[in-house]
């Protein structure tokens, strides 16, 4: 295999923390990064155990996501199982390469599974690792004696034992001498669901292109996002594509219709209407947004905005919307403050005794 011709866009690095020395990992990741972009770095183990606490500082430094696996039963390979399950789950996303770093576990079945899905699999471990795992990978790299010695007072050149000793490892992975900047760590689903600006931009874009069957053309939604929300990009969250980001948020669903990829917000499991998605056709036709811009353009409102440095009292805003026939309950929220918080063109400022809103610039 000629690795110099390989450049992967989304590499998932999965580390068996129970069987890897923390001092080795930085040099290994530096070499792995020459294969392409590392999009996911996870380490698995029971981090409440004394021997794994050494990973805490290194995880922070190298942006490793710790996946804590409590060792409820001594001797059981819970860490291996969790790593394998995660790998299979990740294989359904946009990852094109998996690097499994483990010293003694047999991940041969996992490697075969990933390869049948069209993924490249590289193993990293000691020379004593079971042969079946080595053979199951596209390539396996020995990492014996990778820990550098303690620095001495005498200035000497590094010996081969201070380097990764497998010559093929260096030849195959050293595509360039420089180590790329650490990629942005992927933001996890729970955090994505709390990013109001991101969710509102997605909802507004989907709503803007919503068809009668409640689905929206995915490519048009992405074009709308890129044109109207240039500061919001999947790369800011550690994802290369919008589709991967939507899948992680897990509040949206996609479907092929007449050879077109369509998207919509997942239907609510309760009877409460989803804000901006199951709202009235007023939202669908952008009438609410037009009316909001109209409110902020009124001379009397402009005077208030000038007086308050661009901010408008939520009570005044609510009165203006009521005069236009709007009620927050029709959008699935109980008051105009909640409504404002879920409209992407607005920003909300909460003060001790007052709530103010303003148009986003």
pLDDT of 34 over the 70 cut? yes
Backbone angles phi, psi at 33, to 5 degrees: -65, -20
pLDDT of 114 over the 80 cut? yes
Instruction: Give pLDDT, residue 240.
Output: 83
Across 237-241, average pLDDT: 87
Across 19-38, average pLDDT: 86
CATH class of the domain defined by 3-173: alpha beta
Across 233-238, average pLDDT: 88
Angle at CA of residue 297, ends 293 and 303, nearest 5°? 135
Instruction: Give pLDDT, residue 179.
Output: 38
Instruction: Give pLDDT, residue 312.
Output: 94
Instruction: Give pLDDT, residue 283.
Output: 42
- Among residues of the chain, what percentage have pLDDT more than 90? 13
What gap in Å lies between CA 113 and CA 136, rounded to an integer? 9
- Among residues of the chain, what percentage have pLDDT more than 70? 80
pLDDT of 251 over the 70 cut? yes
pLDDT of 98 over the 90 cut? yes
pLDDT of 348 over the 60 cut? yes
Lowest mean pLDDT among 64-68, 91-95, 271-275: 271-275
Instruction: Give pLDDT, residue 148.
Output: 44
pLDDT of 182 over the 60 cut? no
What gap in Å lies between CA 274 and CA 276, rounded to an integer? 6
Q: Beta 216-217 vs 260-265: how paired, if at all?
A: antiparallel
pLDDT of 234 over the 80 cut? yes
Per-domain boundaries in the chain: 3-173, 186-266, 279-361
- Which strands sit side by side in the sheet containing 97-101, from one edge to the other? 65-68, 36-45, 8-16, 97-101, 120-125, 139-142
Across 298-325, average pLDDT: 90
Instruction: Give pLDDT, residue 213.
Output: 73
Per CATH, 3-173 and 186-266 having the same topology is answered: no
Instruction: Give pLDDT, residue 196.
Output: 80
Contact indicator for 141, 169 with CB cutoff of 8 Å: yes
What gap in Å lies between CA 204 and CA 207, rounded to an integer? 5
What gap in Å lies between CA 74 and CA 55, rounded to an integer? 21
- The per-residue pLDDT of the chain, averaged, comes to 78
Contact indicator for 274, 267 with CB cutoff of 8 Å: yes
pLDDT of 307 over the 70 cut? yes
pLDDT band with cut points at 50, 70 and 90 for residue 130? confident
Instruction: Give pLDDT, residue 356.
Output: 93
pLDDT of 310 over the 70 cut? yes
CATH class of the domain defined by 186-266: alpha beta
For residue 291, the number of C-alpha atoms closer than 13 Å in the C-beta half-sphere is: 17
pLDDT band with cut points at 50, 70 and 90 for residue 320? very high
- What pLDDT digit, counting tens, does each position of 186-221 carry? 888 888 888 888 888 888 888 888 887 788 999 889
Closest CA to 343 of 275, 242, 279, 267: 275
- What pLDDT digit, counting tens, does each position of 155-180 carry? 444 444 344 444 444 444 444 333 34
The per-residue DSSP string of 233-248 comes to -GGGGT-SSHHHHHHH
- What pLDDT digit, counting tens, does each position of 260-295 carry? 889 998 876 544 444 444 433 334 446 787 788 889
Residue 74 in tokens: 């001594």
pLDDT of 127 over the 80 cut? yes
CATH class of the domain defined by 279-361: alpha beta
């Amino acid at each position: 295999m000629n690795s110099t011709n390989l450049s992967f866009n989304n590499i998932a690095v999965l580390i068996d923390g129970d069987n890897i020395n923390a001092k080795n990992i930085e040099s290994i990741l530096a070499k792995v990064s020459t294969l392409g972009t590392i999009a996911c770095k996870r380490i698995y183990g029971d981090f409440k155990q004394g021997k794994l606490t050494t990973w805490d500082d290194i995880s922070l430094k190298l942006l490793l996501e710790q996946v804590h696996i409590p060792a409820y039963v001594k001797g059981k390979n819970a860490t291996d199982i969790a790593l394998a399950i995660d790998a299979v789950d990740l294989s359904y996303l946009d990852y094109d390469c998996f690097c499994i770093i483990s010293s003694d576990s047999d991940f041969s079945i996992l490697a075969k599974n990933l390869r049948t899905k069209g993924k490249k699999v590289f193993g990293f471990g000691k020379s004593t690792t079971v042969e079946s795992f080595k053979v199951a990978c596209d390539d396996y790299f020995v990492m014996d004696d990778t820990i550098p010695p303690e620095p001495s007072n005498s200035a000497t050149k590094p010996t081969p034992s201070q380097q990764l000793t497998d010559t093929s490892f260096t030849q195959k992975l050293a595509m360039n001498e420089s180590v790329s900047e650490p990629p942005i760590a992927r933001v996890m689903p729970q955090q994505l669901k709390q990013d109001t600006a991101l969710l509102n931009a997605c909802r507004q874009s989907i709503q803007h292109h919503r068809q009668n069957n409640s689905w929206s053309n995915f490519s048009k939604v992405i074009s709308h996002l890129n044109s109207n929300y240039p500061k919001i990009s999947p790369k800011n969250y550690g994802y290369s594509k919008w589709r991967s980001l939507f899948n992680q948020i897990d509040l949206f669903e996609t479907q092929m219709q007449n050879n077109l990829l369509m998207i919509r917000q997942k239907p609510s499991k309760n009877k409460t209407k989803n804000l901006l998605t199951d709202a009235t056709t007023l939202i669908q036709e952008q009438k609410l947004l037009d009316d909001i811009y109209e409110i902020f353009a009124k001379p009397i409102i402009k005077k208030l905005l000038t007086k308050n440095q661009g901010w408008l009292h939520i009570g005044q805003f609510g009165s203006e919307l009521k005069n236009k026939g709007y009620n927050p309950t029709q959008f699935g929220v109980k008051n105009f403050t909640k409504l404002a918080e879920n409209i992407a063109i607005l920003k909300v400022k909460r003060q001790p005794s007052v709530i103010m809103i303003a148009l986003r610039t």
